[in-house]
Structure 1
Amino acid sequence: MFGYLCSRHLLLGKHRRTTLGFLPKNGFFIGKSFASVGLSESNEKLEEKEPSFAVSYFINYCGLSKKSAILASQRVRFRTLEKPDSVLNFLKENAFTNTQISRLVKIEPRLLLSNPEKTLLPKIEFFRSMGASSSDLSRILSSNPSLLIRSLEKHLIPCYDFLKSVLILDEKVVTVFKRSKWIFCMHNMVPNIALLRQVGVPQSTISFLITNFPSTAFVKHTRFAEAIHEVKEMGYDPSKTVFVNAIHVLLSMSRPKLESKLEFYRRWGWSKDVALLAFKRHPNCMLLSDKKITKAMDFLVNKMGCSSTDILEILQFYFSAWRRELCLDVQLFRF
Structure 2
Amino acid sequence: MFRFLCSRQLLPLKHRRIHLGFLQQNGFFIVKSFTSAGSLPESNQKPDEEKRHSLAVSYLINSCGLPAKSAILASQRVLFQSPERPDSVLNLFKENGFSNDQISHIVRKHPLILLSDPEKSLLPKIELLRSIGVSSSDLITIISSNPFLFKSNLKKRLIPCYDFIKSVLLVDEKVLTTFKRAPRVFLGDVTNTMAPNIALLRQLGVPTSTISFLVTNFPSSAFSKHTKFVEAVHQVVEMGFDPMKTAFVEAIQVLFKMKKPKLESRFELYKRWGWSKDMALAAFKSSPNCMVSSEEKITKTMNFLVNKIGSPSKHIVTNAVVIKLSLEKRIIPRWSVVQILQAKGLAKNNLALGTFLKPTERKFLEQFVIRFQDDFPELLNVYQGKMSSGRRISV
Question: 1:205/1:97 Cα in 2 relative to 1: closer, same or farther (>3 Å)?
Answer: farther
Whole-angstrom distance in 1 between the partners of 2:29 and 2:194? 53
Whole-angstrom distance in 1 between the partners of 2:245 and 2:84? 56
2:345 paired with 1:322: no
Whole-angstrom distance in 2 between the partners of 1:67 and 1:263? 49
2:49 paired with 1:48: yes
3-state SS of the aligned residue for 2:80?
Answer: coil
Please report the TM-score for the alignment, with normalisation by the length of structure 2.
Answer: 0.69
3-state SS of the aligned residue for 1:7?
Answer: strand
CA RMSD in angstroms comes to: 2.6
Residue of 78, 82, 85 corresponding to 2:84: 82
- Trace 1:111-126 onto structure 2 (pairs within 5 A): 111-126=113-128
**One-letter amino acid matched to 2:28:** L
Deviates more, 1:325-334 or 1:262-271: 325-334
State the 1:124 CA deviation.
1.0
Partner of 2:159: 157
Q: Does structure 1 conserve the Cα–Cα contact (< 8 Å) formed by 2:185 and 2:220?
A: yes
State the 1:6 CA deviation.
6.6
State the 1:160 CA deviation.
0.9
- Trace 1:100-111 onto structure 2 (pairs within 5 A): 100-111=102-113
Partner of 2:30: 7
Partner of 1:245: 250
Residue of 258, 264, 288 corresponding to 2:293: 288
State the 1:7 CA deviation.
2.1
- Trace 1:132-211 onto structure 2 (pairs within 5 A): 132-180=134-182, 181-183=184-186, 184-186=188-190, 187-211=192-216
Deviates more, 1:297-306 or 1:215-224: 297-306
Whole-angstrom distance in 1 between the partners of 2:254 and 2:59? 44
3-state SS of the aligned residue for 2:63?
Answer: helix
Whole-angstrom distance in 2 between the partners of 1:68 and 1:268? 53
Whole-angstrom distance in 2 between the partners of 1:295 and 1:328? 12
3-state SS of the aligned residue for 2:49?
Answer: coil
Please report the TM-score for the alignment, with normalisation by the length of structure 1.
Answer: 0.80
Whole-angstrom distance in 2 between the partners of 1:118 and 1:323? 53
Percent pairwise identity: 57
Question: 1:82/1:49 Cα in 2 relative to 1: closer, same or farther (>3 Å)?
Answer: same
Partner of 2:377: none
Whole-angstrom distance in 1 between the partners of 2:123 and 2:327? 38
Structure 1 or 2, whichever has the larger Rg, is 2
- Trace 1:273-284 onto structure 2 (pairs within 5 A): 273-284=278-289
Whole-angstrom distance in 1 between the partners of 2:112 and 2:96? 19
**Unaligned 5+ residue runs, structure 1?**
12-45
3-state SS of the aligned residue for 1:80?
Answer: coil
Question: 1:63/1:6 Cα in 2 relative to 1: closer, same or farther (>3 Å)?
Answer: closer
3-state SS of the aligned residue for 1:306?
Answer: coil
**Unaligned 5+ residue runs, structure 2?**
1-23, 34-46, 339-352, 357-395
2:235 paired with 1:230: yes
Q: Does structure 2 conserve the Cα–Cα contact (< 8 Å) formed by 1:274 and 1:308?
A: no
Deviates more, 1:141-150 or 1:93-102: 93-102
Deviates more, 1:176-185 or 1:252-261: 176-185
Q: Does structure 1 conserve the Cα–Cα contact (< 8 Å) formed by 2:280 and 2:317?
A: no
Question: 1:295/1:89 Cα in 2 relative to 1: closer, same or farther (>3 Å)?
Answer: farther
